[in-house]
Structure 1
Amino acid sequence: MKKPTDLESRILEILDNNIRLIQYSVYAVGLIGLAVIARSTHIFSKFTSTKSVPREFIRKAVKLQGKVNGIEYYQLPLQQVEGCHPNYALRFNIEHIPIAKLLPWRKKKVVEKSFLLNIELVGVHLTTLEGVDNVIKLPLESNPTIWFRLYGLNCETDHMYASIFLKRTWWKLWSEKDLSLIILKQNKGIVSPYLPNSQQIYFNEKYPAYYRKLLYCEIKYRKL
């Protein structure tokens, strides 16, 4: 068997005498790498306002999870409505749920409205408030946890545009229902104008394809 050279012997001796230091250094590098990944992906971040949401998330149409804390029916100005019947924008106050929690056992507290995300349902306006509680509020009362995909941002009113996905009943745990499609199928709303005429409003590149999907659904289920 070949004997190690003096250089190899010294290296082995250094490794043997500093094995703990080397192990801790490897652990430290790993933790630093995880911290960098967590910071770039916002895996532990809880967004409490429109400004706290990275603009890259809106640009890439990222899908986030949240809990609905309130619903508002905002009546649109008459100049934005075709015909004489009022239309309504559907707005949600949503508590964002991070991808991962550092303290999952921590007791939940009531979240103030100022720390909730303001989300407007994108692409669809309600044409009536009659019967909408059965379509919107009842499913959310049984399960207020939702997913929402970001499509745009209104800098003037400080709210975001997103599609809302309701969770199905317990026997379909992984199924989701697009709220906009539900409203159109039940003839409770119409597809909104494509792009509002304002420099304060931004929509990402994913929105046109989703808008076409809404138009197809409206045409298919529209009552003659």
Structure 2
Amino acid sequence: MAESGRELADNNLISKVSQLADNHLTVVRNISTGLAIAGVILFARSIRLTTKFTNAKDIPSEFIKKNVKLRGKLLSITGDRLEVEHVPISLPIVASFQRKCHSQGTLFIRFAGVEMTPSGKIWLQDRLQPSQMLWFQLLNREDSVLDCFILLDRLGFFRDCLNVEILRQGLGTTVDIPGLQHDSSHYWKFYKRLLQAEVEAQKKGKGLWKQESWLSITSHRFFSTIFIQPVKRLIKLITYFWEKK
């Protein structure tokens, strides 16, 4: 009887251990499956990030929705548009799976939220160099043109936003960005930076916000009073006597 009881207890213990092992194996399998799915998704995203885009219409809509930053090489400047060659991120792990793009093509990008003055366009020509590397943050796509924040590396760590800098120098004004909903957090996030830069230029009187100095205004009024007004009176007097004749 004692031996039978001991065997029953041993069998129960083995059963519990087996059940515990099965439960843990199920958890491990679920974790492994989850990690595998996450790995596939991450791999797929990596492939897309390493894809070279030669046309604005080829860029996934989710990239624009999430305001993804892309890198490119400057080719030319035409008015307020930049022509760039997309330079994708190079990842050795997925390099062999990267889609090869043999077709030639470039991207045209605009300064989102900024309307530049003629002086601003000249400043831009001096600020950017041919073949210069830059980053552009996607905000909107209109036909074959991308509205972006243009970013330049500074000392390898910080990035200057040219959109903000143009407004800060008084070389442009803030305008609406097509495609951004006014009630969205993205709208206020981007416009806050632009409006702050424009207000700063206004306060400092830079660029198109530059006002005449007190001396020039006073001088203009002084000479206007001394010379122009007497001449006007003389003309009126001559006209009066001419009509009398």
Normalised TM-score (structure 1)? 0.61
Contact 1:66 1:96 in 2 (8 A): yes
Matched ranges for 1:154-165 at <5 A: 154-155=142-143, 158-165=144-151
Please state how far the C-alpha of 1:68 moved relative to its aligned partner: 1.6
Alignment of 1:147 onto 2:135: yes
- 2:10 paired with 1:3: yes
Q: Does 1:119 align with 2:126?
A: no
Q: Which secondary structure does the structure 1 equivalent of 2:116 belong to?
A: strand
Secondary structure of 1:58 counterpart: helix
Is contact 1:71-1:93 (8 Å) kept? yes
Task: Indicate if the aligned counterparts of 1:96 and 1:117 stay in contact, CA closer than 8 A.
Answer: no
| CA contact 1:50–1:118 (8 Å) conserved in 2 | yes
Equivalents in 1 of 2:140, 2:59: separation in Å? 12
Summarize the Cα distance change of 1:101–1:208 in structure 2 as closer, same or farther, 3 Å threshold: farther
For residues 72 and 98 of structure 1, the distance between their equivalents in structure 2, rounded to whole angstroms, comes to 24
The Cα RMSD (Å) is 4.1
Relative distance call for 1:9 and 1:178 in structure 2 (3 A) is closer
If asked which structure has higher relative contact order (CA below 8 Å, sep 6+), I would say: 1
Cα distance in 2, alignment partners of residues 59 and 110 from structure 1: 24
Q: Residues 53-68 of structure 1 correspond to what in structure 2 (within 5 A)?
A: 53-60=59-66, 62-68=67-73
Question: Structure 2 regions of 5+ residues with no counterpart?
Answer: 1-5, 212-245
Counterpart AA for 1:163:
F
Residue among 71, 82, 85 paired with 1:91:
82
Residues 92 and 120 in structure 1, CA contact (< 8 A), matched pair in contact too: no
- Tell me, yes or no, if the aligned pair for 1:89 and 1:125 is still in contact at 8 Å: yes
1:176 deviation in Å? 1.1
Name the structure with the higher helix share: 2
CA distance in 2, matches of 1:69, 1:105: 27
Does structure 1 conserve the Cα–Cα contact (< 8 Å) formed by 2:136 and 2:148?
A: yes
Which structure has greater strand proportion? 1
Counterpart in the other structure of 2:223: none
Q: Equivalent pairs: percent with the same residue?
A: 12
* TM-score normalised per structure 2: 0.57
Unaligned runs of 5+ in 1: 74-87
SS of 2:179's partner is strand
1:195 CA displacement: 3.1
Aligned to 2:40: 35
Kept in 2: contact 1:63–1:149 (CA 8 A) = yes
Task: State whether residues 70 and 88 of structure 2, in contact with CA within 8 Å, keep that contact through their aligned partners in structure 1.
Answer: yes
1-structure distance, mates of 2:73, 2:102 = 11
Distance in 2 of aligned mates of 1:14 and 1:130: 72
Superposition deviation, residue 9 in structure 1: 6.2
Larger Rg over CA atoms? 2
Residue 211 of structure 1 deviates from its aligned partner by 3.6
SS at structure 1 position matched to 2:176: coil
